[in-house]
Amino acid sequence: MAESGSPDRTWYLVLEGATDVVTRSRDFARRALTAWKWLPAVKEEDRDAADDVLLLVSEVVSNACLHGGGPNALRLDCTDERLRIEVTDANPAPPVPATRRPASERGRPGGHGLLIVDRLARSWGSRSVPGGKCVWLEVAVPAPLRSPEQ
């Protein structure tokens, strides 16, 4: 498992072939949030924002485990206004939330974690990448951490 990070902008974690990838991904995201001053948070709403990021990382990495044959990598890219989370896996099929399935398939397992993603992320989606797909999502950076001109 290789990882790289900069307190300035982008952190990257290779997960292909790793074990316990959800815990590793959460720990990696927690280190990044600490470097970017999201943690420790003084205000409750800022702590909630950091907790939401950790939950979202867990959801998209878990989905890659359950539906994508395991995650290949996790990428965190933080700007002054948004944090983008990306997880790649080897399954080219896009994720489908349970609510977007045909009525006859809504009771089937899977897709329910995406309801959390849909609720907490400002936007999300997926795109094809060589050998699979990338599921991405974005959340707003807490107001105290934005640059003064934001």
3-state per-residue secondary structure call for 86-131: EEEECCCCCCCCHHHCCHHHCCCCCCCHHHHHHHHCCEEEEEEECC
pLDDT in tens, 59-80: 999 999 998 999 999 999 999 9
pLDDT in tens, 117-141: 999 999 999 999 999 999 999 999 9
Token pair in block for residue 2: 């290789």
Token pair in block for residue 99: 């609510």
- For the chain, what are the domain ranges? 3-145
- The fold adopted by the segment(s) 3-145 is Heat Shock Protein 90 (3.30.565)
pLDDT in tens, 77-115: 999 999 999 999 999 999 987 676 566 665 665 557 888
Q: How does the average pLDDT of the chain come out, rounded?
A: 88
Position 150 scores a pLDDT of: 45
